[in-house]
Structure 1
Amino acid sequence: MTLSRIDDFPPQHPAWELLTGATPFQASSIDQRFSFTTYIPSAYRHSAAPLPLLVAVHGTGRRPEAVRDRFVRFAEEQGVVVLVPLFPIGIDEPDDVDNYKNLSYGGTRFDEVLLGMIADAAERWRIECERFLLAGFSGGGQFAHRFAYLHPERLRAVSIGAPGRVTLPDAEPWPHGIGDVHDVFGRDADLDALTRIPHQIIVGGEDDARETLAIVASDAREARAGVTRVERAHTLARELTSHGVPVEMVVVPGVAHDADAMSAPVIDFLSRALAQPIAI
């Protein structure tokens, strides 16, 4: 399927009104069960160069428009395109809410779906997408740090917000660790490449809602990272740092599980990462 490029339309064509600013959801060309929305900043009309890309991943509640709108000011100030995927509940099982978080579920590779969406966006708009910024909160934070293990060569920086469960860079099986990642995904986790990718791990200081006690009590692989999101964020930061990965650990005082309340330090991190040369 060939997508219409916005640059092929004359400046006053209605397509420019529809396909800049906050755009409608567009079905993925590789799997139409999934879709994405974008924010195309006003700088797009005035720049002939491709614009950098931020991919922001929603949490379990799946509010992609709210995620997109959280980054509108950043997009306008920095001239960045924002892309937000929608991974619906019930893709392979009717009540499954966690499908995308581990990247692979029921035969669907969610990392590949996202990369397909980025390719679709690059057909329609001028986007610098070989390397992009990645951010996610809660379930999106789970997706983001696991995506980084598999695809560091595609990233400029990654912000990992308050993940409820974490994958540590050790020999435990996926998704607890990366010991069998080649068996699961057909590719290795490249920890050396991760050492060139700035990471932010951010969590609210009051985000102490405990995971289901039955899970923590019955699975030592879950419990070893800690019980609260704060503990798990610190464990992930410590373990990544031990492998040479550059991590900024941020605890926002007085904040619980609230993406809006943590958006300022996330945007600050992304802005600083955008100003740095792209790692090779």
Structure 2
Amino acid sequence: MIRVADLPVAHPGRRLLTKRTPFFAAPGEQRCSYCAYVPTSWTPDAELPVLVAVHGTGRSVGELREGLIPFAERHRVIVVTPLFPVGIDDPDDVHGYKLVDANGIRFDVVLLDILEQVRFRWTARVGKVLLCGHSGGGQFAHRFLYLHPDRVAAVAVGAPGGVTLLDDSLAWPEGITDTRRRFGITVDPTAVARVPVLLVIGGDDDGRADLAAMGDHGRSRPEQLDRLAATLARHGTAVRRVVVPGVGHSAAGTRPPVVEFFSGLLPG
């Protein structure tokens, strides 16, 4: 694998591997992939931080990356956007990645392998990353936090339709009682609490009809977000909850508080 630092400055590979990159197959699961945005200020010795942005059910990865380019340039951050495609081993599976494991794939491990490749190729800092996701991406993001709090510097969760509680009386994905058996990881709420969390939702994003169509007839998206806020706060997490007036179920519409949240944690 080529390290960008090893390419001469005038080599066309430098242009290909900075700014908007192509999609790369994920190293551990090549049915998944990722692309990145590498800011124009990148240099081989920069060791830039990384923001991972996880798509929702619609997999609008290009739009997601584009919306974070100003943030990447302003704060000298590499944006990584994984793609977990529909239909791996089940042609109708659109939700599996949200639960972290499905059809024999550990999507958290897929992301960790992607980050190792990002570290090598761009000399990036991936020990702790910023992590955000909207809707289905928000489901993945908070569950990844539970399983790997040591790899997350801060997380922003937008409008998830389903949440996992820090409740050791409930099985995954409702709770965490069986994570040792399922993932080989015992969730540590104390470690989770060390990571600052933003919860964000549009003021017009009820979602009850959408969730009912998918089999959840009990709660709206605001109610799910409240449940997540309560379980995190109960275990000591510093949680900030933001409602964006006049916005529906929109990743772009709820992006400003996410950018503000992460900007407050970075220099410049």
Q: TM-score, normalised by structure 1?
A: 0.92
- The equivalent position to 2:234 in structure 1, one of 242, 264, 271, is 242
* Aligned twin of 2:216: 216
Does residue 77 of the first structure (1) align with residue 74 of the second (2)? yes
- Dislocated runs of 4+, deviation >2 Å: 213-217, 273-276
Q: How many residues align?
A: 265
Q: How does 1:1-280 map to 2 (within 5 A)?
A: 3-45=1-43, 48-170=45-167, 171-210=169-208, 211-212=211-212, 215-217=215-217, 223=218, 227-275=219-267
User: How far 1:32 moved relative to its partner?
Assistant: 1.0
User: How far 1:213 moved relative to its partner?
Assistant: 6.3
SS in 2 for 1:274: coil
Quick one: which amino acid aligns to residue 215 of structure 1? G
Quick one: which amino acid aligns to residue 249 of structure 2? H
Q: Which runs of 5+ in 1 are unaligned?
A: 218-222
Q: TM-score, normalised by structure 2?
A: 0.96
Sort the Cα spacing of 1:257 and 1:12 in 2 relative to 1 into closer, same or farther, 3 A. Answer: same
SS in 2 for 1:120: helix
- Determine if contact 2:18/2:38 at 8 Å carries over to the other structure: yes
User: How far 1:49 moved relative to its partner?
Assistant: 2.6
Moved more, 256-265 or 148-157: 256-265
Residues 178-210 of structure 1, C-alpha deviations (whole Å, 9 max, x = no match): 111111111111211111100001111111121
Two-structure CA RMSD over aligned residues (Å): 1.4
User: How far 1:257 moved relative to its partner?
Assistant: 0.1
SS in 2 for 1:66: helix
Distance 1:105 1:166 in 2: 16
Distance 2:170 2:226 in 1: 18
SS in 2 for 1:101: helix
- Determine if contact 2:134/2:157 at 8 Å carries over to the other structure: yes
Distance 1:273 1:149 in 2: 21
Distance 1:69 1:115 in 2: 23
User: How far 1:38 moved relative to its partner?
Assistant: 0.2
Distance 1:34 1:213 in 2: 27
- Determine if contact 1:90/1:96 at 8 Å carries over to the other structure: yes
- Determine if contact 2:75/2:267 at 8 Å carries over to the other structure: no
